[in-house]
Amino acid sequence: MENAIKLIKNAQSGVVFTGAGVSVESGIPPFTGAGGLWNQYDPKFIELDFFYADPKRSWEEMKKIFFTCMDEAKPNKAHEVIAILERRGGFQGVITQNIDGLHQKAGSQNVQEFHGTIQRMHCIKCGRKYDTAEVDLEQVPPTCFCGGVLKPDFVFYGEGIPPGVYEKSQEMIWAADLVLIVGTAGQVMPACSLPMIAKQNGAKIVEINPRPSAYTDITDEYVPQKATEFFAALEKNL
């Protein structure tokens, strides 16, 4: 831990790269692994083709699984200290695979939401955009003024990564001298390739994860801890 904290404090253009593990302690279950959503539900309801074919059924499942737990969740110590790292300098910002918006709620400014967000929606007919907070989710599926169905702005299976986010994430990774990996198994492409690119470009890698991941063998420092425990200790050292 001491070596990891030293690398973090000395970073000049660090990037925090987060996965589901950083939000588990806020009450949001991961998608895979122990207690993962896909162990309990069939993920076909967020396949793009399924959504277009049966938006009502897709929305029934999304509302039940995503919108209750994520709407009620609050940032934890890890989110809060990650925001502090950006404010104090030395870190460019966050690249997250999460769709919950907790990094922004904690105060992070530069957040690249690689897999999109649950906080916004758009009409699949006219393209009009909505903040999720203004949408009445009692009606399923929710619809636009034009009558079109609304789709959440997170990436469905069969859908590409938002181009602007992908480009900005790559720019951050190429400029990084340190990547701080938090709570991800490193199994989802193309997101999982980003820390590998940074490593090949000479960046140091620090990983915080209770269990080893696909990244552990390339890390300069691996800390097998829960995210909140590590960041509470880091905060005392900043």
For residue range 73-82, what is the model confidence (pLDDT) as tens digits?
Answer: 999 999 999 9
**Whole-prediction pTM:** 0.95
For residue range 120-164, what is the model confidence (pLDDT) as tens digits?
Answer: 999 999 999 999 999 999 999 999 999 999 999 999 999 999 989
pLDDT of 38 above 90? no
At residue 34, the pLDDT reads 63
At residue 35, the pLDDT reads 64
At residue 1, the pLDDT reads 93
Across 185-203, average pLDDT: 95
pLDDT of 113 above 80? yes
At residue 208, the pLDDT reads 98
Distance between start and end Cα atoms, the chain: 14
At residue 33, the pLDDT reads 64
Asked which of 52-56, 113-117, 172-176, 187-191 is least confident by mean pLDDT, the reply is 187-191
Across 36-48, average pLDDT: 79
Mean per-residue pLDDT over the chain, rounded: 94
Across 190-217, average pLDDT: 97
Model confidence band, residue 67 (pLDDT cutoffs 50, 70, 90): confident
Pairing state of beta strands 116-123 and 150-154? Answer: antiparallel
Long-range contacts of 206-210 (CB under 8 A, 24+ apart): 206/4, 206/7, 206/8, 206/178, 206/179, 206/180, 206/181, 207/181, 207/182, 208/4, 208/180, 208/181, 208/182, 208/183, 209/21, 209/181, 209/182, 209/183, 209/184, 210/21
Residue 115 annotated in active site = yes
At residue 42, the pLDDT reads 80
For residue range 11-25, what is the model confidence (pLDDT) as tens digits?
Answer: 999 999 999 999 999
Catalytic residue, candidates 79, 103, 115, 122: 115
